């Protein structure tokens, strides 16, 4: 038994353009026209690659739901499950604020989503790593169905990085993933990685 996981990041949002921290913010963050076009292009690309999916799992936040709905129109009749376990990391009182207002630039954004520099920058109401890891582990177990399966997952940039860190059993390394880009991972029945290709499917 194996599970092929195509781990996608949602399309570009208005908050991405404005440089705002999104976290669990829902209705206020939506796809831009470019984000809609990215999602359409990704759906067409996946269709043309001729890879039938058994399931689609998506974060239940608006930006991911929009992306999933657009992609799924090109993939036929596939069951979609929207789940809070695929949400972005909750950033508490930082959500909605501009990165620039915090006195850091994008090149220093590890201070906002600290992966290997501790958590001293984060507010007390941000989601702890323990919670994120628990969500990621629950999803991995969900992916391991009792038969071989190919799964499309639509989630968020930072949560996807945590998922990759967990699957590769590595430190919290920063793996970049643009909007509408897909990482590919193949797992055996014990959730061990047999193959991993970061940024395996990218829009031109």
Q: Is 189 exposed, middle or buried (0-12, 13-18, 19+ CB in 10 A)?
A: exposed
Strands 182-188 and 193-201: antiparallel
Residue 18 is among the residues annotated as catalytic for this protein: no
| Gap between the Cα atoms of 183 and 4, Å rounded | 11
The active-site residue, picked from 10, 12, 156, 183, is 10
The active-site residue, picked from 88, 95, 156, 183, is 88
Beta bridge partners of 184: 6, 197
Residue 107 is among the residues annotated as catalytic for this protein: no
Q: Is 182 left (phi over 0), alpha (psi -120 to 50) or beta?
A: beta
Residues with a catalytic annotation lie at: 10, 88
């Amino acid at each position: 038994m194996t599970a092929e996981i195509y781990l996608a990041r949602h399309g570009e949002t208005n908050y991405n353009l404005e440089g705002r921290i999104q976290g669990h913010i829902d209705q206020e963050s939506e796809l831009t026209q470019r984000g809609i076009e990215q999602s359409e292009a990704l759906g067409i690309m996946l269709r043309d690659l001729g890879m039938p999916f058994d399931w689609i799992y998506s974060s239940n936040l608006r930006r991911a739901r929009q992306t999933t709905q657009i992609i799924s129109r090109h993939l036929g009749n596939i069951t979609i499950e929207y789940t809070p376990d695929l949400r972005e990391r909750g950033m508490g009182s930082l959500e909605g604020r501009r990165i620039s207002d915090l006195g850091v630039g994008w090149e220093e954004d590890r201070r906002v989503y600290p992966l290997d520099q501790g958590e001293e920058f984060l507010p007390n109401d941000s989601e702890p790593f323990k919670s994120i890891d628990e969500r990621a582990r629950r999803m991995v177990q969900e992916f391991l169905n009792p038969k071989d399966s190919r799964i499309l997952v639509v989630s968020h940039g930072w949560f996807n990085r945590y998922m990759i860190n967990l699957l590769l059993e590595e430190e919290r390394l920063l793996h970049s993933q643009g909007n509408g880009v897909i990482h590919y991972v193949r797992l055996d029945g014990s959730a061990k990685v047999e193959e991993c290709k970061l940024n395996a499917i990218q829009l031109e």
